[in-house]
Structure 1
């Protein structure tokens, strides 16, 4: 497995030096950059995908939480902060760990290893060629859902709702990220707010997708061309 790529962001220089020092002692990690200015970090992260960001929360110009929400993708995150009152919000964002300063090396290392283990698990699941299920985190629990049971995925801002025959799952994930992660399994975007499995589509007309289960979903104008290509 490739090294875990990391970016550190903290407006206090000593904290960044500590991140450097700790990362230098952990095998198979690459600390690519550190930033005292969170706006500069945001610009970098918008252009460069990394596996893990280690973030302070209370920073000038933009908080660590807001920085994370502004990213076009969802890296793993460890909050490293003096603040304790944001722990609930952090876990709503599915962060890997919430570390309160000062942090000793062993605690820091365990948090990084936790990120490495999660990334390895995620990549191994995505790399399987003939997968008939997906795995995702919802309400702090890893869930396994068979593709045949998925009806559709609906977007709501920073969240998506995965709707199955049995229940609904709320997932902290952007539609674009879900589409990118699972497009090799036959998911297709039909609307800015809807993704379905192509194999579940029965037919379509100018404005509507008809699923084999009888459900009807809107068809966005900009997605018609792609749908026509799928149908050949």
Structure 2
């Protein structure tokens, strides 16, 4: 497993020194940067994605909760602070741990290891999503196609065409059967003749659905409300 990349933000320099000392003693804890100024930290984190941020809460100019909410992505977070009244708010933000100063090494180590476990679980879930696939018969052969490769499904009476980035498959099946069989994977009907993956939709208007690969497909009037409800 790769090292846990960390940035720490605290307006008290002795606290940052202690975090540096603790991280040096924990295998796989890679402390990249420390910041006393939360605005400098925010600018750095917007440009550099890290696994974990260790944040003080009560800081000048911007508190730790505000900093976390302004990030364009959601890293793991440990709050390390003198304040106790923000614990409920912190856990609403799905923080890994809430540590109250002063914190001893063993407590800090357990919090870091908990962050490692969270990251490992998150990565395994994301990898599983990448490997999602469907199986179907086409031309008397069972085919396995990754979801990421599916562009759209088009119906032609008793047959459907499954279009991928590299190949077109003709399947003896009805649209309604395909929709029912695979809807739990994110397929959604947008027209009487078209089904797409919701994760591949870039945008839509009153008459069309636009996919992330640039394709434009028709949006049926009877499917607009269900599409809007699904995506919102």
TM, length-normalised to structure 1: 0.63
Please report how far the alpha carbon of residue 115 of structure 1 lies from its aligned counterpart in structure 2 after TM superposition.
Answer: 0.5
1:188 maps to 200
Please report how far the alpha carbon of residue 105 of structure 1 lies from its aligned counterpart in structure 2 after TM superposition.
Answer: 0.4
Which whole-Å CA distance do the structure 1 matches of 2:222 and 2:201 have between them? 11
Please report how far the alpha carbon of residue 186 of structure 1 lies from its aligned counterpart in structure 2 after TM superposition.
Answer: 6.7
Q: Could you give the per-residue CA deviations for residues 167-211 of structure 1, whole angstroms, max 9, x where no partner exists?
A: xxxxxxxxxxxxxxxxxx87124449xxx9x8xxxx6339x7938
Q: Answer yes or no: is the 8 Å Cα contact 2:186–2:198 preserved in 1.
A: no
Q: 2:228 aligns with which of 214, 217, 224?
A: 217
Q: Could you give the per-residue CA deviations for residues 87-111 of structure 1, whole angstroms, max 9, x where no partner exists?
A: 0000000000000000000100000
Q: Could you give the per-residue CA deviations for residues 36-77 of structure 1, whole angstroms, max 9, x where no partner exists?
A: 001000000000000000000000000000000000000000
Q: 1:205 aligns with which of 210, 219, 223?
A: 219
1:72 maps to 72
1:7 maps to 7
Cα 1:88–1:189 change in 2 (3 A) is farther
Which whole-Å CA distance do the structure 2 matches of 1:95 and 1:109 have between them? 16
Supply the RMSD in Å over aligned alpha carbons.
Answer: 2.9
Tell me the matched-pair count: 162
Q: Which runs of 5+ in 2 are unaligned?
A: 134-181, 188-196, 212-216
Match status 1:131 vs 2:132: yes
Please report how far the alpha carbon of residue 151 of structure 1 lies from its aligned counterpart in structure 2 after TM superposition.
Answer: 6.5
Q: Answer yes or no: is the 8 Å Cα contact 1:79–1:95 preserved in 2.
A: yes
Alignment of 1:137-216 (within 5 A): 148-149=183-184, 187-191=199-203, 204-205=218-219, 210=223, 215-216=226-227
Which whole-Å CA distance do the structure 1 matches of 2:122 and 2:62 have between them? 29
2:106 maps to 106
Q: Answer yes or no: is the 8 Å Cα contact 1:209–1:217 preserved in 2.
A: no
Which whole-Å CA distance do the structure 1 matches of 2:203 and 2:2 have between them? 35
1:118 maps to 118
Which whole-Å CA distance do the structure 2 matches of 1:90 and 1:148 have between them? 35
Q: Answer yes or no: is the 8 Å Cα contact 1:54–1:80 preserved in 2.
A: yes
Which whole-Å CA distance do the structure 2 matches of 1:14 and 1:189 have between them? 49
Equivalent position SS for 2:111 = helix
